A = this chain, B = another copy of it.
Amino acid sequence: MKIIVDAFGGDNAPLEVIRGAAEAIEAYDVDILLTGKEAIIRQTAAEHAVSLDRMEILDCDDVITMDDHPRSILKEHKNSSMAVGLQALAAGQGDAFVSAGSTGALLMGSTFLVKRISGVSRPAIAAVIPSTKGPVMLIDSGANADCRADMLLRFGQMGSLYMTDVMGGGKEATVGLLNVGTEETKGGPLQQEAYALLKQSNLQFVGNVEARDVPFGVADVIVADGFSGNVLLKTMEGTADMIVQNLKTMFYTSLKTKIGALLVKKELDAFKKSMSTAEYGGAPLLGVRKPVIKTHGNAKALAIKNAIRVAAEFAKAGVIDKIKATVQAEGAEEA
C-alpha cells in the first residue's frame, strides 16, 4: 500500500506532514510518496531528525494556497504539490491521496484530474464527526452549497457504503436526512423530495433527523446539502471549543479547582481525545475514482498520521468499486 501525501498542504507544512508520514509508516506499514519542494523537505527532515525511510519524493516547486482560486489548480498551479499528487494518484503511482490544503482546490482537482465516477454528478466531502455511539459520517459537509434531491440520494448511497465497509465492519449503516423536524413534511422542497427518494431506496433510511440528535448517534450517515452540513460541522467544532475553553477557565479559578482538575486529569484527557477531530484523521472525498482524504488545514502530525491510516483503509475496503456497481445497477434498471 502506497499513500501519496501533499507535503505542502495546510498551515503546518512541511514539518508536521512529514512527521505524521514517518509515524504512519511505523504504525501502519505503508509506503509514502510525498509531493512538494524536495530540497526543503530534505532540509526540514534533517533539521528535525525525521527519517525519510520508505518515503519517495515527487519534486515540484509550486504550492496552491487558500487565497488562490480553486480552479487555478488546473492551470496556473498545475505544478503545485496538490496538483502533482492528484496527477500521480490518477496515474496509479499510489493507492490514495492525503492533503491538508485548500478544500476548494482539492475538490476541483479531484473532480478534473482524478475524475468523477460516471453517474455521480457532484463529489461530496464526507466529514467524520464524534457522537456518543461512535463516529458518524456527515455528507455533504461543504463541497456543494446548492444541491438537488438526486444529489442527496447519491450522498446517502456513497456514505452508507463507506460507513458499512470502512468503519462498520460490514454492519449495514443507517442513514438519516438532516432536517428541522422529524415529520415527513418538514423542511423545504429539497428536503421533501430527498426524503421521498431516500424512502424509496434500499438504504437503511431512518427518516429525518434533527441537528440536536446528531451528536447522540441517531444515524450512522447524516445526509445534508453542503451549506447546512457545513453549518452543522462547524457549529459542533465551535461549541466544543468554546466549552473546552470555559472548562479550562473554570479549572484555573483557584487552588481548590486546580486540585479538582488534577483529580480528573486522566478522564478529562480521554474526553478531549474523544472530541478531537484529529483522531478521525480526515474526511473522505466521495464520488471520485480514487481515494482522496482531506485533513484539517491546521492538522499536526497526529492528524496526518491518522489521515494516512484512513486513506489506507479507504483504499483497501474497495468502496469505490461498490459505488461504481451501485450506480451502474441503477443505470441498468432505468435503461
Contacts and interface: CB of A to CB of B under 8 A. Distances in A.
B264 A262 contact: no
B231 A187 contact: no
Contacts of A243: 239-240, 243, 275
A119 interface: no
A227 B142 CA distance: 16
B274 A246 contact: yes
Contacts of A131: 242
A210 B268 CA distance: 28
B263 A259 contact: yes
5 contacts: A132-B246, A145-B186, A191-B227, A215-B235, A216-B238
A234 B226 CA distance: 17
Interface in A113-172: 131-132, 142, 145-146
A25 B242 CA distance: 35
Interface in A173-198: 178, 180, 186-189, 191
Given A250-B271, A260-B263, 12 more contacts: A145-B187, A214-B238, A215-B239, A215-B242, A228-B228, A231-B231, A232-B232, A239-B239, A246-B275, A250-B267, A253-B267, A259-B263
Given A145-B180, A180-B142, A238-B216, A231 B260 contact: no
Contact of A230 (B180, B213, B250, B253): B180
A103 B263 CA distance: 44
Given A251-B264, A256-B263, A210 B239 contact: no
A257 interface: yes
A263 B212 CA distance: 31
Given A211-B230, A257-B267, A239 B235 contact: yes
A245 interface: yes
A211 B238 CA distance: 7
A237 interface: yes
B264 A260 contact: yes
A321 interface: no
A29 to B, nearest CB: 33
Contacts of A187: 145, 227
Nearest to A192: B145
A309 to B, nearest CB: 24
A241 interface: yes
A238 to B, nearest CB: 4
Nearest to A247: B271
Interface in A210-226: 210-216, 226
A30 interface: no
B234 A236 contact: no
A241 B218 CA distance: 14
A238 B212 contact: yes
A251 B247 CA distance: 13
A261 interface: yes
A261 B77 CA distance: 54
**Most chain B beta-carbon contacts within 10 A, residue among A142, A232, A264, A274:** A264
Nearest to A211: B234
A216 B267 CA distance: 26
